[in-house]
Amino acid sequence: MNLLLVLPILIPLTAAALGLTAWKRPGLQRSISVAGAMALLVASVMLLAATNRGDVLATQMGGWEAPYGITIVADILSSIMVLLNAIIGLAVVIYSLGALDPQREAFGFHPLVHALLAAVSGAFLTGDLFNLYVWFEVMLMSSFVLLTMGSGRAQLEGAIKYVALNLVSSALFLAAVGLLYGATGTLNMAHLAERIGSADPRATTLIAMLFMVAFGIKAAAFPFFFWLPASYHTPPPVVSALFAGLLTKVGVYALIRTFTLCFTGDMAFTHEVILWIAGFTMLSGVLGAAVQSEFRRILSFHIVSQIGYMLMGLGMAGVALAAAESADESTAVALRGAAALALTGSIFYVMHHIIVKTNLFLVSGIVQRLFGTGDLDRVGGIWRTRPVLSIMFLVPAMSLAGIPILSGFWAKLTLVRAGLLAESWWIVAVALFVSLLTLFSMTKIWGEAFWNAMPPGREDPTATVRSDRGLRIMMTVVMLLGAVTLAIGFAAQPVFDLAGRAAKQLLSPGVYADAVLGGRQSSIPPVDADGGAP
Amino acid sequence: MNSLVLRTAARFLLPLLLVFSVVLLLQGHNEPGGGFVGGLVSASAFTLYAVAFGRDAALRAVGINLQVLAGLGVTIAILSGVPALVLSEPFLTGHWATVPIPGIGDVKIGTPLLFDIGVYCTVWGVALIMVLNLAEE
């Protein structure tokens, strides 16, 4: 059990270390990288199998008891996220074998990807807020190097915006961690859940808002999203795909974790704010996408708008729970049910989104390979020359827009149903409207790049591109991810049940706290009401 | 830089700083010091050498590819946690043994020392990669 919990961090970390020691031997690096990514997938499937029934696993690093040491803890949500991380890791590593130029590969692409995977796994599995900060930093460093690798002018410009904004987020995060420690005397999330109630509620709400801003920047939520569309279209598509799938979702995960476990004191306020942020994030992302005409820029703006849907579930859940406290008994039961459904929707949405978004970026990589550009004005007629590729775009694109029986439809349906049950009318209206605009955006890409012929006067450059081994590898990965999307869509019930169990676990944090703290009473005397600071 | 004073000083300071960095590494468990500071000191020793004799001379003096050095460091640090896993204890749980060394007496050696050595190598390698890359421009 100890082993199972640390493996999702250890495997990519070891792969990164071994990859570094094989610095001058790209062939060996590739083998280590692929083997590491496969092992990570196996380990995370085993982890999900172990937590799937509702047990929360925990281990104390170095044998130092919580709340003093660092706890690594896995519940269903963490295990799902780790599994998604592993799927994306494997997909990107294999795709890179066909897509990446040798210079960038020699610059340490494989070790960096694994360092990033280790950091993301760590962020999903840690039970300690300061440790979460450390994983965020590891993530920022490895993603920064991946982003600047190759040092194109546009790349550096995007990277500077990316790093500047993320450093602000880190500083806010660290400040909030310090304040929280001053107010409660602990940073272990389970311990925090027990003790935060006895701290000054004004202080804890303030700290909760600081965390919301810090994680909101990471998640690219309104109004802090502009770093994302400014940087994601600049690196090689395989790097964009990795980032698009994972990075912002770590921010979303951190928000879901802390705002269901720790900051639940004033949900009528904090989660109402999250709900507003969600609405604005959806709208601003999709409107931003409507005016773009470059493949990956459009997709980048859509990441932003999709983040809104994920936050919408979290916000609705909190608002419904807060309303349930003052409602009469039958309404309260209904509202709690709506809250569980809303969180289920959020988790389902994250699962669907990570696969679909990475896949779309990978498709954009193939288009870029064929045409040498992602500019929609200079791309066309793919449907006639490459119908398979077109279908491979259509599956994730229509899923993103929420066309029935694809995975995105079920995710949106769950959220909308929860919204109707919780009577959050306006956010449901926004979600449906944004969904329509998403469809518009996807049909725009479909029309200009795939359906319409090449613009007149331009030669079709794909005629000269032969289907070499690289393209075949890229196509295989895209097809496999498309198959996962279809599987989530057609077998929605088991996935929905899984997300539902994860949501239920989030709403009863006692299990989590017992697993981390060993079911014992806290041995540290509680802080007095005015914060306990000298 | 072509300065006789600097070159002579650097030649003497390099071994001195390296010994100091190892002292820092070894006393780190209970006193100020540790793998991180030790690694920084040894990286700065080679930085000084690079200032005096140039980047390539410093790379030759290290004698091992810096990326490989950093990778080995991380590998050593990970290995220090493995004994605990084999004994099915939490990862990184410390294990100590007392080894009698003639002339010094009983010395306590344990997995945290191994971890610190890993950190030392990683910091040494990574810090030098950064500094020498900047020196290249």
Whether residue A108 lies within 8 A of chain B, CB to CB, comes out as yes
Q: Are A68 and A30 in contact (CB under 8 A)?
A: no
As a whole number, the mean pLDDT across chain A is: 89
The span from the CA of A486 to the CA of A468, in Å, is 27
Q: Which residue type occupies A107? A: F
Do the chains contact at A20 and B92, CB–CB below 8 Å?
A: no
ipTM reported for the complex, 2 dp: 0.89
* Chain B nearest-CA residue for A9: B78
**A61: nearest CB among B68, B75, B92:** B92
From chain A, pick out residues whose CB is under 8 angstroms from the CB of B93: 62-63
Mutation target among B78, B89, B91, B121 for the A interface, most CBs of A within 10 A: B91
Min Cα–Cα distance to chain A from B133, Å? 13
Question: What pLDDT was estimated at residue B137?
Answer: 59
So what's the pLDDT on residue A360? 94
Distance from C-alpha of B74 to C-alpha of A114, rounded to nearest angstrom: 13
Query: What is the Cα–Cα distance from B28 to B115, expressed in whole angstroms?
Result: 11
CA dist., res. A423 & res. A420, Å (int): 5
Are the C-beta atoms of residues A118 and A64 closer than 8 Å to each other?
A: no
Per-residue model confidence as pLDDT tens digits over B77-108: 999 988 888 888 888 888 888 888 888 778 88
Segment A278-304 mean pLDDT? 92
Mean pLDDT of A512-518: 87
- Please give the average per-residue pLDDT across A332-361, as a whole number: 94
Residue A488 to residue A494: CA distance in whole angstroms: 9
Q: Please write the tens of the pLDDT for every residue from A146-204.
A: 998 877 788 888 888 899 999 999 999 999 999 999 999 899 999 998 888 888 888 99
Of A17, A59, A108, the CB nearest to B91: A59
What integer pLDDT is reported at residue A452 of this predicted model?
83
* Tokens matching residue A253: 């995960």
B41-80 residues touching A, CB cutoff 8 A: 65, 67-68, 70-75, 78
Which residue, among A301, A266, A298, A270, has the nearest Cα to A284 in the 3D structure? A301
pLDDT for the residue A529: 40
Of A228-242, A380-394, A420-434, A464-478, give the lowest mean pLDDT range. A464-478
pLDDT at A64: 84
- CB contacts of A73 in chain B (<8 Å) are none
Task: Name residue, tokens 């669907």.
Answer: A352
- Please list every residue in chain B whose beta carbon sits closer than 8 Å to the beta carbon of residue A108: 67
Q: Is the pLDDT of residue B136 over 80?
A: no
Residue A532 gets the label, from left (phi > 0), alpha (psi -120 to 50) or beta, of left
Q: Which residue of A has its CA nearest to B88?
A: A2
pLDDT confidence of A460, banded at 50, 70, 90?
A: low
Whether residue A151 lies within 8 A of chain B, CB to CB, comes out as no
Of A10, A62, A111, the CB nearest to B93: A62
Give yes or no for residue B35 having a pLDDT over 60: yes
Q: Which residues make Cβ contacts (< 8 Å) with residue A180, sequence separation at least 6?
A: A129, A187, A192, A204, A207
- Partners of B81 on chain A (C-beta within 8 Å) are 6, 10
- What is the three-class DSSP state of A158? helix
Q: Is the pLDDT of residue A525 over 60?
A: no
pLDDT of residue A524: 43
The reported pLDDT for the residue numbered A534 is: 33
